Chains A and B, each alone.
Chain A
Amino acid sequence: MRNSMLIAIRELKERIGSRSFLLFSTLGPLIVLGFVYLMFAFGGQSKQHWNVLVADPTGIMENKMMVNDDKSISYAFANDYIEMEEFADAKKYQLYDALLEVNEKVLSNKVGFVFFRESPSIRMQTRVQYQFERRLEELMVKEFTSLSLKDFRKIKQPLSVNFRDVYDPYNESSDLSGWVGMFYGGVIFTFIFLFGITIMRSVSREKSNRIVEVLLASVSPNQLMIGKIVGVGLSALLQFVVWVVVIGVGLYFMRETLFPDMLNAANMNIHDLTLQVDSQSYQDTAFASREYNQFVELVYNRVQFVNMTVFFMLFFISGYLFYGALFAAVGATMGSESDGQQFVIPLIVLLCLALYGGYYSLNYPESPMVDVLHYLPFTSPVVVMVKLAQGYYGPGHVYEIYLSLLALISSACLMLGLASRLYKNGILQFGHRVRLKHIFKWLKKS
């Protein structure tokens, strides 16, 4: 253990002292921040004005909405049933951004649906919900009570308005949250690959300059391999922490300076907001905020960073151990440093497959193939991140993420066991041609 730690610390010091580490630690997060800023600034500003078609077959709304005009929303009324598909595709409805469906029982069930073409900002959702609810309140007071509108509002129950994408009403296809998961998975694999290659090159360099024989006279091959994987892994973690801090500070700075309204806690919850909006002045204040594009909302409101980061760390560490052992074994079996080139190609293919697995699960989260990829150690870190970001692990599915983690940890242990055999038997072989029969023989030898 002591020797493994000494090896790990030496590796860590060497990595930290290298120029590439410093460059990747500083430029990497700054590039990501720059990219995020560009998305915030130019990435499809949400519409400032919405045309909403109100489908009111029973004429409950009496072709009216709020008394006071809202310049950001225009309502049109159709006293007919309009199917979602029809609204999505029919030419005559294309000028409307959303369809507000008013069912005939809305006064009793208090449920409404808004089908949108392009994901609305939270403020836009709030406006529609607020205006719809206020109009219903007027109607309810008129229809069922002798109360004044003010008294009624004291005893009212909230209205449930569901916003749904007309092209993807059940939110099955890829969405921005899923892409955040893909980003996390991508970061996992980028780090694993970069640092895996570092392990492989470090092992083969020690072989070629023969320092390994000096080391092996003091430490066992297993201690050496573990020390190397841990040391390089610690440098990867350190770099990740630097990334998190720089990106976190950068996002905070952007929120403070470039997107200050996001600081308003009231803006975070649509239902709370609707309940609190009682006065016109509050409404004006809240709605006067600038409309931000969906990326801003995604980053500051929708992504559960804490949850994602916890599982990111767990899957990153387990995935790193799995791949790190594989890379160390490959480095130990190589006959010369130049052999590494030919090994890199299949490893890149493996990496691409893993990323494709993530992309596939982004598009087809419910497919049986994704169920398999979800548990495969080669792909699970990225697939799980995507599904986690998509909010897949709700009640009844939570166990799946732990099962996947368990499968990955077990595979990492197995891989470490196999890699230690290859490492032990291959580390002192120099200048040979790598043959499968040698690898199998080394695997058989304890």
Chain B
Amino acid sequence: MNFMLEVKNISKSFFRKEALSEISLRVNKGEIFGLLGPNGAGKTTLIRVINRIVEQDSGSIRFDGDLMTENHLSQIGYLPEERGLYKNMTVEGHAVFLGKLRGLSRKDAHIKVDYWFDRFGINDWRKKRIEELSKGMAQKVQFICAVLHEPKFLILDEPFSGFDPINVDLIKQELIEMRAAGKTVMLSTHNMKSVEEICDRAVLIHNSKKIAEGTISELQNARKTGLYAVRFRGSMIAFVNALWTGFEVHDKDILGDDRFIVRVKMRGDSSFEDLLKVLIGQVKIEAAWEVLPTMDNIFIDLVQPKESE
């Protein structure tokens, strides 16, 4: 069994409002899995169901091959979107308290706290009260609290919100290292760039239903437009003349200094190799690539039409 988490036909309603409708998904072991969707799609409800914070109306969840029970919670790390801390506790006291709640002994909790505080360079904050921390500092503490007990499966709901780019990068690197160490991560975020960068697979939920699932490249390939882009130095006229009848210029960006990026659409049986052949010698090609939709594009493409319906 290669699944860390298997969600099967989960439905949940609140006061007749459907929050999740027959949601099924699988998260493989050792991958970073993106949970995407617009606000109010049902992502947080799904995460709460997985964490057994709310109970599903129907459906089942298997964790590491077994039907999920309360005992599995100690193997899960959770950083909720709307996260809080006890303001009058010290940073160290808070981390140790949450570590113990997740099953660590007092001694182990202190050892882990030492490790993570060293790793994040926040040893000076130990005795500070939470209320003395800035938002970014508090976010770091919250992240440490979520991973302190070294869970097999980490669920992060909007982990990058409130962080500056340096700390976003720090968290990304941590997640990549966790994946390398065999941990599984479920990442719910609106930061599509991060999804493209670090997620292996993703699911998109909209209006309480699953509307897409797959690897990032599968999702991109499913929505590619057949466009290819070429960045070159030279004359735009020479470029257009070289294309002849097998290709069509879709649009262009002028970079200045006789440099351009032109997106080209294939006609008939023309291929990427044919395009490169006709251009070589006419212009100085700097780079050429297939234009794939960004996760932003995919997100908008999947969500927006349905909103206008």
A and B associate in one complex: yes
Encode contact with A along B278-290: 1 for CB under 8 Å, 0 otherwise. Answer: 0000000000000
Whether the Cβ atoms of B53 and A217 lie closer than 8 Å is: yes
**Which stretch in B85-93, B120-128, B245-253 binds the other chain?**
B85-93
Whether the Cβ atoms of B98 and A218 lie closer than 8 Å is: yes
Q: Which of A7, A14, A213, A218 contacts B82 (CB 8 A)?
A: A213
CB distance from B48 to the nearest CB of A (A): 7
A213 to B145, CA, bound (A): 13
A217 to B87, CA, bound (A): 19
Whether the Cβ atoms of A214 and B84 lie closer than 8 Å is: yes
Q: Which size bracket describes the interface of B in this complex? A: 20 to 34
Determine the chain A residues whose CB is within 8 A of the CB of B76 once the complex forms: 217
Looking at A209, A217, A218, the one whose CB has the most chain B CB atoms below 10 A away is A217
Indicate if B41 sits at the interface (CB-CB under 8 A).
no
Determine the chain A residues whose CB is within 8 A of the CB of B51 once the complex forms: 216-217
Whether the Cβ atoms of B84 and A210 lie closer than 8 Å is: yes
Whether the Cβ atoms of A215 and B101 lie closer than 8 Å is: yes
Determine the chain B residues whose CB is within 8 A of the CB of A209 once the complex forms: 84-85, 87
A173 to B74, CA, bound (A): 61
A413 to B257, CA, bound (A): 81
Indicate if B73 sits at the interface (CB-CB under 8 A).
yes
Whether the Cβ atoms of B15 and A441 lie closer than 8 Å is: yes
A215 to B98, CA, bound (A): 8
A432 to B89, CA, bound (A): 28
Whether the Cβ atoms of B85 and A220 lie closer than 8 Å is: no
Determine the chain A residues whose CB is within 8 A of the CB of B70 once the complex forms: 220
Whether the Cβ atoms of A6 and B80 lie closer than 8 Å is: no
Determine the chain A residues whose CB is within 8 A of the CB of B80 once the complex forms: 210, 213-214, 217
A329 to B237, CA, bound (A): 76
Which A1-41 residues have a C-beta within 8 angstroms of B? 3, 6-7, 10, 14, 17
Which A217-255 residues have a C-beta within 8 angstroms of B? 217-220
Indicate if B263 sits at the interface (CB-CB under 8 A).
no
Whether the Cβ atoms of A206 and B101 lie closer than 8 Å is: no
Q: Which of A3, A206, A217, A219 contacts B78 (CB 8 A)?
A: A217
A26 to B142, CA, bound (A): 37
Whether the Cβ atoms of B82 and A210 lie closer than 8 Å is: yes
Indicate if B306 sits at the interface (CB-CB under 8 A).
no
Whether the Cβ atoms of B86 and A211 lie closer than 8 Å is: yes
Indicate if A212 sits at the interface (CB-CB under 8 A).
yes
Indicate if A428 sits at the interface (CB-CB under 8 A).
yes
Which B242-278 residues have a C-beta within 8 angstroms of A? none
Determine the chain B residues whose CB is within 8 A of the CB of A212 once the complex forms: 84
CB distance from A421 to the nearest CB of B (A): 12
Indicate if B83 sits at the interface (CB-CB under 8 A).
yes
A214 to B102, CA, bound (A): 10
Q: Which of B52, B73, B84, B102 contacts A211 (CB 8 A)?
A: B84
Report the nearest B residue to A445, measured CB to CB: B55
Whether the Cβ atoms of B15 and A214 lie closer than 8 Å is: no
Report the nearest B residue to A216, measured CB to CB: B53
Which A404-429 residues have a C-beta within 8 angstroms of B? 428
Report the nearest A residue to B77, measured CB to CB: A217
Looking at A209, A212, A215, A218, the one whose CB has the most chain B CB atoms below 10 A away is A218
Indicate if B238 sits at the interface (CB-CB under 8 A).
no
Whether the Cβ atoms of A10 and B97 lie closer than 8 Å is: yes
Determine the chain A residues whose CB is within 8 A of the CB of B133 once the complex forms: none
Q: Which of A7, A14, A217 contacts B73 (CB 8 A)?
A: A217
Determine the chain B residues whose CB is within 8 A of the CB of A438 once the complex forms: 15
Contacts A428-B53, A428-B54, A441-B15 given: A214-B87 contact, CB under 8 Å? no
A225 to B82, CA, bound (A): 21
Q: Which of A6, A17, A210, A441 contacts B101 (CB 8 A)?
A: A6
Determine the chain A residues whose CB is within 8 A of the CB of B73 once the complex forms: 217-218
CB distance from B295 to the nearest CB of A (A): 27
CB distance from A210 to the nearest CB of B (A): 4
Determine the chain B residues whose CB is within 8 A of the CB of A213 once the complex forms: 48, 53, 80, 82-84
A431 to B269, CA, bound (A): 59
Whether the Cβ atoms of A6 and B78 lie closer than 8 Å is: no
Whether the Cβ atoms of B101 and A219 lie closer than 8 Å is: yes
A217 to B51, CA, bound (A): 6
Report the nearest B residue to A212, measured CB to CB: B84
A1 to B97, CA, bound (A): 15
Determine the chain A residues whose CB is within 8 A of the CB of B100 once the complex forms: 6
Determine the chain B residues whose CB is within 8 A of the CB of A216 once the complex forms: 51, 53
A214 to B89, CA, bound (A): 15
A215 to B84, CA, bound (A): 10
Can you identify 16 A-B contacts, CB atoms within 8 angstroms? A6-B100, A7-B101, A17-B88, A209-B85, A211-B83, A211-B85, A211-B86, A212-B84, A213-B53, A214-B142, A214-B145, A217-B53, A218-B74, A218-B101, A428-B53, A428-B54
Give B contacts to A, CB under 8 Å.
15, 48, 51-54, 70, 73-74, 76, 78, 80, 82-89, 97-98, 100-102, 142, 145
Give A contacts to B, CB under 8 Å.
3, 6-7, 10, 14, 17, 206, 209-220, 428, 438, 441
New A-B pairs, 7, CB < 8 Å, besides A214-B78, A216-B53: A211-B86, A214-B84, A214-B142, A216-B51, A218-B73, A438-B15, A441-B15
